[in-house]
Every structure is written in C-alpha cells, then in structure tokens.
Amino acid sequence: MVFMNSFYVTTPIYYANSLPHMGHLYTTVVADCLTRYKRQRGYETCFLTGTDEHGLNIARAAARNERTPQEQVDYIVGEMKEMFAAFGLDPEHGGYDIFMRTTEPFHYEGASAFWRRVAAGQTPKGRENIYKDFYEGWFCAPCGTFKTDEELAPAANDSETPKCLIHETPVDRVSEEGYFFRLSDYDEALLELYESRPDFIRPESRRNEIISFVRGGLQDTSISRLRSSVGWAIPVPDDSAHTVYIWFDALINYVTALGWGSEARSAEVGPEKFERFWPGLHIIGKDILRQHAALWPAMLLAAGVELPRAVVAHGMWLDQTGRKGSKTLGNALELSTLRRHYQPDAVRYFLLREMAFGQDCKVDYEVILERANSDLASGLGNLVSRTLTMIRRYFDGVVPSPEISEGRRLQAKRVGVGTDAQDLASTLELVRDQFVQGVEEFAFHRALETVWGMIARVDKFISDAKPWELAKSEEQRETLGAVLYRAAETIRWMALMLYPFMPESARAIWQQLGQDGDVQRLDPTQLQWGGLTEGTRIGEVSPIFPRIDKAKTMAEIEKEFAQRDEKASAGAQSTGADAAHSGTDATPSGAHATQAAVPGSETAAEVKSEAPPMRGATEAEAVTGAPVAPAPAVPEGIATYITIDDFAKVEMRAGEILTAERVPKADKLLRFTVDVGEAQPRQILAGIAQHYEPENLIGRRIVVVSNLQPRKLRGFESQGMVLAASVGDEGRPVLATFTEEVPNGARLK
Ligand code: MSP
C-alpha cells in the first residue's frame, strides 16, 4: 500500500531520571514546529516524543529519592507532560501524537522481537550479528554510554575514578560477560548509505563528522548488562541473566511506537500505522548523533527494517561560560522559571530564532526577555496593535478598501503609497518563499529573520505614510484606507506563516483580524495577495505580547534563586559550611535546578509541589527530607550510624585558600579558589560570610570534601564543600584546619 503525504517526526525519548529543562524543550519545540508546518501543508502527521525509562541512571535516581524505579519514571512523566502542555506541545494544543514510554508492555514485546530478528540474521560480511563476549571498560550512567579513554578526564591517582568529560561525574567500571552487536561489520554499508543519500544526516557538518567517525573504524558494541548489575531494564530474550543495554532498547522505540513487533500495539494505533508513517525523521541534539546516525541504521539493517528518512542534529544550549546546559551540572534553564515569567510563545519564538540551527548557542534568562521585548512586544505585537487600532478608530473596525481612485493617486503617491500593491505583494511572495525554504532546510532562525525583515519594512511604510496625519484630511481617506489594508494584509500572511512557531499568538492575531478558517490547516505556500476581504469586521483588539518589565522580572528571578541559595546556605550551617550539596533529589539542587530538597528550606513548598512524597514517609517528612525509616537506637549526639563503606565514599582533602571574596547580593556566601593538589585550583562557595572576612582567609589550610557533585550558587559553580564545625545555638561556623604541615591534596581517612 502506498500512502501519500505522511510525515513522522520524532524527538529523542528523554531520560526519565530528572525533570526536563530548556534543552529538552528545544528539541520538542523544533519537532512541534515542523509538525504544524507539515500539517498546514496538507500532510498527515505523526509526532512522537517520550521517555527513556530504563537503566542504571533511572534506578539510581529512584534510590536517591526513595522511590521505586516505576514511581520515579511515573513521576517524571507526569511532570514532563504538564510542562510540555504549558508550552503548547501536548495533544490538546495540537502537539505530539504519541508520548512513548519504554516501560510499556508493547515495547518489551517489540524490542524483544527486534533483538530476535537481529540475532537470527547475519552481518553484510556474513557473520552472526550478535555474539557473547567479555566486556571490560568504563560506563557513564548519566550519558548511558560506554566511554573510551579519550572521552574521560583521567583520574588524579590510582585510588580515584576517571570522570565523564560531559557530566564531570565519576564513571563506573564494568567488567562482565555480555552480548555484543557486530557493528564493525556495518562500516561499508553505512558509508554507502551516507554516500547514496547525502541528506540522510543533516546538517552537512554532522554528516562529515559521522563519515569520518565510521571511516576511522567501528567497534562492536556491548548491548547487554548482567541483570545483577542493571536489573531495571528489558530482559534479553531467552537469557534472563542479562538485560538489554538501554540504547539498544531505546532506539527501537521509534518503530515499536507505531506497532512494529507487537500485535497489541498495532491494534491499538491502527494496523497500518507503521506502513503509513515509517520511515520517520529524527530530530536530535548533536550529543547523541553517533547512536542515531551509525548504531541505529546498522540495527535496522540487521533487522531488515527500512532506514529512517533522515537524522537531523541541532546544537547545544550552553551557559554563559560555554558549558552544555544539563541537569547534572545544574546550569540549564528551568522550565518552571521560564513558565512563571514568560509567555510560552515568547519562549518558543526565542528558541527557534536565537539558535542558528545546528550550532551551539549561549543562553540565560535575560536574553530571552530582551528578545521578547524587542522582537515581539515592540516588533510584531506593536505592528498588529497599531494597525488594528487604527482600523478600529478610523474605519469603525471594518477592513477598508485597498483601492485608490484615479483622482486621488497623485496625493497618495506623495506619501509613498503606490496605486497598486504590486511591490508589496511581490516582496511578500519573496519573503514567503524564503521563509518556506528556511523551514524546509531546518533553518528556523533564517525563516524568522525573513519575516522580521518584512515587519521592519511595513513599520517603515506606516511611519512614512503617517496615517494619523492622513486621517485629518477627508481627501486622503482612500490613501489612509489603502495604507491600513496593506498593513493588515501583510499581518494576515505573517500570522499564517508564524503559526507553527507561535501557535497561540498566531491564532490570536488571526482572530483579531476577523479571519475565519483554521489557521492550522491553511497552507502558507498558497497565500495570495488580496485574501483579506474588504468589509471584514475585525475582532476585539488586545495586546498579543505585553512588554515585560525587565528590571522587575530579572529582580524576581534573581530573588527566587537567591532565596533558594540563602536557604541552602542556612541549611548548610547545621551540617557544614557549604550549603551547596545538601539536596536529596536526582539532580544537584543548584541555583538553577528545580528540585532543591534542602532540609528546612522555604523552598519546601516548591519541593512539595514538584516531588511526590517519598515512599513510607509522611508528607511532612517528605517535604523536609527527614529520615524515612525508623532510626536504630544510637548514642545521643549521633544522628545515625554509617558503615565504613559509606564513609569511604566521602573524599576529603587538605586544601589551601588562594583567593576569597564576597558574592555580590548574597549576604552569606564567600567564593574561594582552593588548591587541593590538582592541576587547577577549585572554585568553592561557602555560607560563612557573616563570620569571616574574606581577606583573613587567604592562605588558610582547610578541609575540602572534594567528590561532591558540583552545583551552582548565584551563578557560580561550587566544586566541593569546605568543612566547618557548627558552634553554639546560632551554629557559628568554625573552619576545620591543620596545625601541622600537610601537602595540598592529602586525603583524609
Ligand atoms: N535517552 C536518550 C535518548 C534516547 S533516543 C532513542 C537521551 N536522553 S536525554 O534526556 O539526555 O536527552 C538528550 C537530548 O535532549 C538531546 O539530544 C537534545 O535533544 C536535548 N538536550 C539536552 N540538553 C540539551 C542542551 N543543553 N541543548 C540542546 N539540547 C539538549 O540522550
């Protein structure tokens, strides 16, 4: 059966270990925008997003939060769906069609069928696709991938573990028997694919990157783990001592979602869903390009399933220091903050306009605000409201005629208004064509730039013609009408083009223009000049993009983070000098993280709303992070016993304070650079500013907890914790120090 005009687009399925952030929102907005555009163009669309719910990282996050893995993933999925809905990405707002979850039974069935197909087949070089062997190497749980030595920061000494270069957290040593996929036999087939289908990987730079990666030689890849080490995963078919490696499991979701390999799913989504929509287009971040552009096609070749239409990789959102925004580092912009302070469409617009698709881009809360004010409030919003307000004021809310009669033409010409609108119409056609080309090439920023060029042009046209002056003379009434018609017609074109980018705002503009018809079903390539009918009564006019008060909003955002930081440092005074690391949740409770479960913190309300109660805890316990299980009897003054293994996990080192200064606008925080015997000094923040003068601390020997996950406080990353005694009722911190000579970096045991 041949189906015409279908379009299947996917985002990566996101790890369900922690709440989504702006990076996840971005990919989902890109896919949503493409879907809406294709729908306008008459395609039957299917848009998949979802969650990757297996593996060590999920199991660990669940354990940290005292949840079962299933509770953890259910919780994250609930939050993610709610967040996506807030940005218009859910089915109710015309967004995704499928929210895929890899823990669904049909996916187990489909993934198992896929494994069996691969296991039963042979590589292009005539060998078995899957074989058993021994694996020894490093594994990064947050990445979910095995790491080569080049992908790791080497350990400082033998007793330490190397760290993942992306997440800066220690990796796990894996040494076990398992199944391997013979990826190395697919090198020629893959190179041929890239050669014969130059558009398979986009943009071009990513294609080149993958070609040289594959040319460099592919290694067979481990596709299972021992059930005893990773139990939260799909069992390997016919060998339940092993579980399927999460990437092997996760990639298959793109086809199982459509019913491949499961009759039950096929019946649920319609028996021809797979034939109708596969092959799909994968939108991903460049961080997971190899898995999508090399491993996945090889898996599909091995299983005899058609290859995807294309793999399109975008760049990364970075913080102002140039590091990739991630939950683990605590430097990604939070969706809850974005949602609280900005219009959803303003965020969508920013994401698609600011990032040159394919390249990396720095971001913070302020640049989003600035773009919203300049491009939306002053740009598009102002054009719409001034035009419609004038139609209301001068023509009683009825669209005037574009025509200028013979006798009035000269007068019109004097104020820059031509007899016919041919010039404007041709320019708009050009804009439309460039816009369409931009979207088709995934150059969303360029598409928007083109539209904004048109806004500037029409703004100038209005300013030159000065309708408010024309309105004073009855003789110029036709000219006035022609000016406003031209402006309003241009806005109509723009509303249609901008719908995929800003659906709610485009709809609002459409309605204010008094247009019928469903903007989501009208094809922008069919736009014709003159589609706005004279005599149309325009709708209620109200501002589409209210201006954001920059000083006020930035101060509010600052304050929200400051309150968390202050609470974090206050909390720290009862446990140590640094508040930075007292969070209990899956992610560091950084200034920009959303799950700041700080004991006794005011953010408890926030934690409560974002985190379900821990299992077995009363609500109050869950909120404050108090112990859940009844504590065994312990001597007074000791909170609870830990084992020697627990203690061994804490790495403490002797250090020397090299520099110390106050953190602006944070009464309690000091910022140090500390030499702990490494190549570079570390930056550490401590909540002791009310008890120590920074200049008195330079040269001071201290004790640093050096293996705490880094987190951000007031925009500064704290890469460790300084130890201090907590003295007296008010918990005055007194820094731990040495009275004998100790080299920097010496470990405390
Ligand atoms: N679970 C895997 C994907 C499996 S797909 C079969 C995974 N999950 S993830 O939660 O880590 O999401 C990675 C994706 O999130 C990136 O490819 C990108 O789409 C998005 N982003 C996460 N952080 C990002 C930025 N800082 N910037 C841009 N996109 C980012 O990998």
CA 17 – ligand 1 centroid, Å: 12
A 10 A CB-CB count for 484 gives 25
- pLDDT at position 334: 94
Q: 274-278, 574-578, 707-711: lowest mean pLDDT where?
A: 574-578
Residues of the chain above pLDDT 70, percent: 89
- For atom 30 of ligand 1, which residue has the closest CA? 23
- For atom 13 of ligand 1, which residue has the closest CA? 14
CA 527 – ligand 1 centroid, Å: 36
Average pLDDT over residues 207-231: 95
Pick from 573, 598, 600, 569: which is nearest to 735 by CA? 573
470-480: string of b/e by CB count within 10 Å (b at 16+)? Answer: bbeeeebebbb
CA 166 – ligand 1 centroid, Å: 12
Average pLDDT over residues 538-553: 96
Specify whether 242 is catalytic: no
* Residues facing 164 on adjacent strands: 152
Specify whether 93 is catalytic: no
589 close to ligand 1 (CB < 6 Angstrom): no
- pLDDT at position 726: 83
Residue tagged active-site, from 54, 107, 327, 567: 327
8-state DSSP, 19: -
Contacts of 7 (CB under 8 A, 6+ apart): 34, 35, 38, 43, 44, 45, 46, 277, 281
A 10 A CB-CB count for 260 gives 21
Specify whether 327 is catalytic: yes
Q: Could you identify the atom of ligand 1 that is nearest to the CA of residue 288?
A: 17
Average pLDDT over residues 124-152: 89
Higher pLDDT, 601 or 514: 514
Q: Could you identify the atom of ligand 1 that is nearest to the CA of residue 20?
A: 10
Specify whether 24 is catalytic: yes
Task: Using most ligand atoms within 8 A of CB, pick from 11, 24, 76 the residue to mutate for ligand 1.
Answer: 24
Grouping H, G, I as helix, E, B as strand and the rest as coil, residue 231 is coil
Q: 115-124, 574-583, 603-612: lowest mean pLDDT where?
A: 603-612
The model's pLDDT over 123-133, given as tens digits with 9 standing for 90+, comes to 999 999 999 99
Task: Using most ligand atoms within 8 A of CB, pick from 11, 27, 282, 592 the residue to mutate for ligand 1.
Answer: 27
The torsion angles phi and psi of 713, rounded to 5 degrees, stand at: -130, 125
682 close to ligand 1 (CB < 6 Angstrom): no
**Is the predicted pLDDT of residue 634 greater than 80, yes or no?**
no
Grouping H, G, I as helix, E, B as strand and the rest as coil, residue 48 is strand
- pLDDT at position 594: 28
Q: 312-326, 382-396, 582-596, 597-611: lowest mean pLDDT where?
A: 597-611
209 close to ligand 1 (CB < 6 Angstrom): no
Angstrom distance (rounded) from CA 6 to CA 38:
9
Residue tagged active-site, from 324, 445, 668, 691: 324
CA 26 – ligand 1 centroid, Å: 10
250 close to ligand 1 (CB < 6 Angstrom): yes
How much is the pTM? Answer: 0.78
- pLDDT at position 571: 60
641 confidence band (pLDDT: 50, 70, 90)? low
Task: Using most ligand atoms within 8 A of CB, pick from 18, 22, 26, 350 the residue to mutate for ligand 1.
Answer: 26
HSE on the CB side for 411, CA within 13 Å? 17
**Strand (E) or helix (H) holding 100:** strand 98-101
CA 77 – ligand 1 centroid, Å: 15
**Is the predicted pLDDT of residue 551 greater than 60, yes or no?**
yes
The torsion angles phi and psi of 72, rounded to 5 degrees, stand at: -60, -50
- pLDDT at position 618: 25
CA 578 – ligand 1 centroid, Å: 31
- pLDDT at position 4: 60
Specify whether 33 is catalytic: no
- pLDDT at position 586: 34
For residues 444 and 357, is the Cβ–Cβ distance under 8 A? yes
- pLDDT at position 640: 52
Angstrom distance (rounded) from CA 313 to CA 293:
10
Angstrom distance (rounded) from CA 524 to CA 545:
23
317 close to ligand 1 (CB < 6 Angstrom): yes
- pLDDT at position 593: 30
Angstrom distance (rounded) from CA 296 to CA 210:
13
325 close to ligand 1 (CB < 6 Angstrom): yes
- pLDDT at position 607: 28
- For atom 10 of ligand 1, which residue has the closest CA? 14
For residues 494 and 454, is the Cβ–Cβ distance under 8 A? yes
The torsion angles phi and psi of 568, rounded to 5 degrees, stand at: -60, -45
- pLDDT at position 632: 36
Q: Could you identify the atom of ligand 1 that is nearest to the CA of residue 14?
A: 10
CA 609 – ligand 1 centroid, Å: 25
- For atom 23 of ligand 1, which residue has the closest CA? 23
142 close to ligand 1 (CB < 6 Angstrom): no
For residues 640 and 634, is the Cβ–Cβ distance under 8 A? yes
CA 122 – ligand 1 centroid, Å: 32
Average pLDDT over residues 240-265: 97
Specify whether 54 is catalytic: no
Angstrom distance (rounded) from CA 517 to CA 534:
17
Residue tagged active-site, from 38, 46, 140, 242: 140
Query: What is the average pLDDT score of the chain?
Result: 87
Q: Which residue has the tokens 């796990």?
A: 172
Helix locations, 157-308, DSSP H: 187-196, 204-215, 246-251, 253-256, 263-269, 273-277, 289-290, 296-303
CA 286 – ligand 1 centroid, Å: 9
284 close to ligand 1 (CB < 6 Angstrom): yes
A 10 A CB-CB count for 675 gives 16
Q: 162-176, 321-335, 565-579: lowest mean pLDDT where?
A: 565-579
Higher pLDDT, 602 or 167: 167
Average pLDDT over residues 560-574: 71
150 confidence band (pLDDT: 50, 70, 90)? confident
For residues 544 and 386, is the Cβ–Cβ distance under 8 A? no
50 close to ligand 1 (CB < 6 Angstrom): no
**Is the predicted pLDDT of residue 173 greater than 90, yes or no?**
no
**Is the predicted pLDDT of residue 648 greater than 80, yes or no?**
no
CA 52 – ligand 1 centroid, Å: 11
Higher pLDDT, 680 or 646: 680
